[in-house]
Structure 1
Amino acid sequence: MTETMKSYHVTAGQGIGELETRQRPIPEPGPGEVLVRMRAGALSLRELKVLENDYPLPITPGVVAGCEGVGEVVALGDAVRRVKVGARVAASVFPRWIDGPFQFEYAAQLGSSLDGVFTEYAVLPESGVVPIPEHLSYDEAAALPLIGLTAWNALTGGQGLRAGETVLTLGTGAVSLLAIQLAKLAGADVFATSSSPAKTDRLKALGANAVVDYSKNPNWSEEVRALTGQRGVDHVIDVAGVLDQSVRVVAQGGEVTLVGASQGKAANAEPLSAATVFRSGATIRPMAVGSRRQHLELNRAVESTAMRPLIDRVFTFDDLPEALQYYRTGTPFGRVIISHN
C-alpha cells in the first residue's frame, strides 16, 4: 500500500475543466468503518448536475467527487463484524438509508455532503457497503449502486412488478436501459420510447417488445396505448418529467414512477391536470435511488439470473475529466465506467 493516494474533488458550479486532483495520505478506518481500495466507478447525469450547480442536495465545497463505486476491503476499524478484508463491495450512495421510506435524515450522500468514490481509497461505514454479485467484474458491478438501484426501486418499490404485467420506459438513458433488463427478468412485457431509429434494434435486443419513436409522434402515449389494445401499461418509468403523457398511457389503477424531471420542459410537456390524474386512478410516485435493503434485493436478483449490465465505454481513473466530457457531449448507450485497472 502506498502512503498517498489520488482523489478528485469538486465544488458545485466549477465545471469539468476545473475538477481538482489532490494527493492525500491514505486514511485509516475508525471504529465501525472499513477502508476500501476503489476498483471502479460510474458516471451519471448526477455528476454533471453537481458540476453545473444544478443539484438539489447540498454540496460540500471540495468534497471527493462521485457517488457510484465498488472496490475491495483492505482494512477494518474496530468493532467491524459483518465485513471481512478481501470482500468485494459496493458503496451505498446514501449510507444512512438502511430501510423504509426515504427521510431527510438519510440525505447525506456520497459525493455531495460526504466524500465520494472518485478516489483510490475510501473510508466507509460498515453499514454503508454491500457485497457485489460474484459473477460481475468490478467494472460491471459499478453500474449498479446508483442507476441499477434506481431502476430496481422504480420497478419494485411501489406497487411492485409481477410477471405478465407491462412496463414502459422512456428514452435510452441508463436508468431506462437497466429497467428494461430488470423488468424482463421479472417476466414483464416492456415497451420503450426513443427518438433514434438507430437505437430501436438495440432496445429490442435488450428486451423491449416494441419501441415507439416519439420524435415522429408527439402524442406517443396514444401509440403505446394502441400497442396494449387501449388498456395502457401497468408501470411507467418516467425519467424525463413528461407526466401528462405518462399518466395518459398508464392503465387504470397503474403506477407512474417519477425518477427525473429535468427534461420535461425540453420535451414540451403539457401541464398535468387534476382531472387527468383522477380519471386514470394512477399512483404517481416520485423516488430517488433506494435503501440498503433494496440494494441487497437487487444484488440477489442480478446474481440469481446472471444478469450483466450494459457498458458503453470504459475510461481509466486518470482520464476522469475526459470521461465526463464524453458523457456530457456523447450519446452513451449503457454505462460509462471509470476503471482503476
Structure 2
Amino acid sequence: MSTQTVFRITLKDGIDGIQAFNEPIPKAGQYEVLIKIRSVALNYRDIAIANSTYPLPTKDQVIPTSDMAGEILEVGEHVDGFSVGDWVIPPVTADYLYGPFKEGVDAYGSVADGMLREYVVLPAHILVKVPKSNINFNQWASVVGTGSTIWNAYYGNTPLKPGDTILLQGTGGVSITGLVVAKAAGAKTIITSSSDEKLEYAKSLGADYTINYKTHPDWAAEVLRITDGRGVDHVIENGGLGTVEQSLECVKESGIISLIGFLSNEGKSQPDMLMPALIKAVMLRGIRAGSKQQLEELVRFIGKHNLSMPVDKTFGYHREDIVAAFKYVAAGKHIGKVCISLN
C-alpha cells in the first residue's frame, strides 16, 4: 500500500471541517525515519485550532494534533541510534530541542502539519525512544505535550521540591498529568474542578485536597485555608484571564505561577497583575511547551517511578470517531487525556 488516510482541517468555523484525504506514504530520507503512528492524543490547543480560536498562527488545511506515539518502520541510511521496531515519541516541535524557548518555532498541528495521519517521516535527531513496557501507545502519546509542558513548569526554572504544595486548575490533561508527576516527586497537591465526580477521580490518583469551584467560587480563600494562610508554592494556571487573579491571591510569597492555558479567557478583561505580583515577589512564567530534552527527562522519570498517564477515553481512526473525540474534549467531559487509536 502506497497511500494513507490523512485528516485535515478544511473549514475555519468548526470541528466538522475535519475531513479525510488519501495521500502518499512518504519515504524516509538519509537522516530521517518513517513512523507508523499508533496513537494520537488530543489537547485543548487542537480544539482551539479547529475552531479558529487559537491565539497563535496556523496554516490553512493543516493536519491537526502534535502528540503521537508510534513505531519505526524504516530508517534512513545515515541514522544512528534507532532501529526498525523502536517505539518513539516526538516533541511538539522539531525546532525546540533544548534550552530556553525560542520564538517562531514550527509547532506540529498549527503552522506545521501534525500527526493525525497513519504514517509520518521525521528527522531522527528530534525523536525520543520510549521503552516497550506495561505503558501502551495511548499512554505514551499522552505524555508528549502535556507531559513536557508540566516538566517544563516544574523543572524548567525553579525546580519542584519534595514537600512543595501545588495547585492544579481543572482535571484536563495538563492538570492530571501534573498531579501524577507531582505526587511521584513528593509534592502536596490541591486540584480544582466544577465536578465532584472528577474530583473523586483525582483523589484516586493521589490528590491531597480537592476544591469544587462552583461550590467555592472564592476558591483562593479555600486554598489559603487548606495551607493555613501560607499559600501554595506553585500554581498550574490553566484558566487564563478568568482565574489568574485568584491564583495571585493564593500563591505564597516568591511562589511561581505557570501560565499554561486560556480556558476562561473569553469575555474577560485584562486583570491588573502587576502590583499583586510585585508585592508578593511572584514569578509569572509563560509555558508554551517542553523541549526534546525535557521530554527525555520526563520519559526517564516515568520509567523510574513506573508511572502511566491516565487515558479517559479512546476513539477510533474514522472521521466520525475523530470528530466525536474533538467534540468530547471541547465539551470538557474528559478527565486526563483523550486518544485516537490507530492500532
State the TM-score bracket (shorter-chain normalisation).
over 0.9
Aligned residues of 2:11 and 2:17 also touching (Cα < 8 A): no
Q: Displacement, 1:261? A: 2.6
Aligned residues of 2:11 and 2:18 also touching (Cα < 8 A): no
Partner of 1:249: 250
Task: Label 1:309 to 1:296 Cα distance change in 2 as closer, same or farther (>3 A).
Answer: same
Q: Which ranges of 4 or more aligned residues in structure 1 deviate by more than 3 Å?
A: none
2:216 maps to 1:217: yes
AA aligned opposite 1:231: R
Partner of 2:315: 315
Partner of 1:332: 334
Aligned residues of 1:225 and 1:232 also touching (Cα < 8 A): yes
Task: Label 1:152 to 1:269 Cα distance change in 2 as closer, same or farther (>3 A).
Answer: farther
Q: How does 1:169-184 map to 2 (within 5 A)?
A: 169-184=168-183
AA aligned opposite 2:194: S
SS in 2 for 1:97: coil
Q: Displacement, 1:8? A: 0.5
Aligned residues of 1:134 and 1:303 also touching (Cα < 8 A): no
What per-residue deviation string (whole Å, max 9, x for no partner) do you get for residues 1-57 of structure 1? x21111111246242222121111211011311110100001111111111112233
Partner of 1:291: 291
Partner of 2:61: 62
- Cα distance in 2 for partners of 1:311, 1:249 equals 30
- The counterpart of 2:128, out of the listed 127, 130, 137, is 130
Q: Could you list the runs of 5+ residues in structure 2 that have no partner in the other structure?
A: none
Q: Displacement, 1:232? A: 0.8
Q: Displacement, 1:227? A: 0.8
- Cα distance in 2 for partners of 1:167, 1:25 equals 46
Task: Label 1:269 to 1:202 Cα distance change in 2 as closer, same or farther (>3 A).
Answer: farther
Aligned residues of 1:94 and 1:110 also touching (Cα < 8 A): yes
Partner of 1:120: 118
Task: Label 1:12 to 1:292 Cα distance change in 2 as closer, same or farther (>3 A).
Answer: farther
Aligned residues of 1:5 and 1:120 also touching (Cα < 8 A): yes
Q: Displacement, 1:269? A: 7.9
Q: Displacement, 1:306? A: 0.7
Q: TM-score, normalised by structure 2?
A: 0.94
Q: Displacement, 1:144? A: 0.8
Partner of 2:150: 151
- Cα distance in 2 for partners of 1:183, 1:269 equals 32
Q: TM-score, normalised by structure 1?
A: 0.94
What per-residue deviation string (whole Å, max 9, x for no partner) do you get for residues 51-84 of structure 1? 1112233222222222111100111223211322
- Cα distance in 2 for partners of 1:219, 1:121 equals 48
Aligned residues of 2:12 and 2:52 also touching (Cα < 8 A): yes
Q: Displacement, 1:278? A: 1.6
Q: Tell me how many residue pairs correspond in the alignment.
A: 338
Q: Answer with 292-301 or 188-197: which moved more.
A: 188-197
- Cα distance in 2 for partners of 1:172, 1:209 equals 14
Q: How does 1:29-178 map to 2 (within 5 A)?
A: 29-105=28-104, 107-135=105-133, 136-178=135-177
Partner of 1:4: 3
- Cα distance in 1 for partners of 2:190, 2:92 equals 29
- Cα distance in 2 for partners of 1:326, 1:226 equals 34
Aligned residues of 1:12 and 1:53 also touching (Cα < 8 A): no
SS in 1 for 2:66: coil
- Cα distance in 1 for partners of 2:273, 2:53 equals 27
What per-residue deviation string (whole Å, max 9, x for no partner) do you get for residues 148-187 of structure 1? 2112212221211011111110111110111011000000
- Cα distance in 2 for partners of 1:279, 1:14 equals 43
SS in 2 for 1:271: coil
Aligned residues of 2:312 and 2:338 also touching (Cα < 8 A): yes
Partner of 1:194: 193
What per-residue deviation string (whole Å, max 9, x for no partner) do you get for residues 230-264 of structure 1? 11111111011122111111111111111013414
Q: Answer with 325-334 or 167-176: which moved more.
A: 325-334
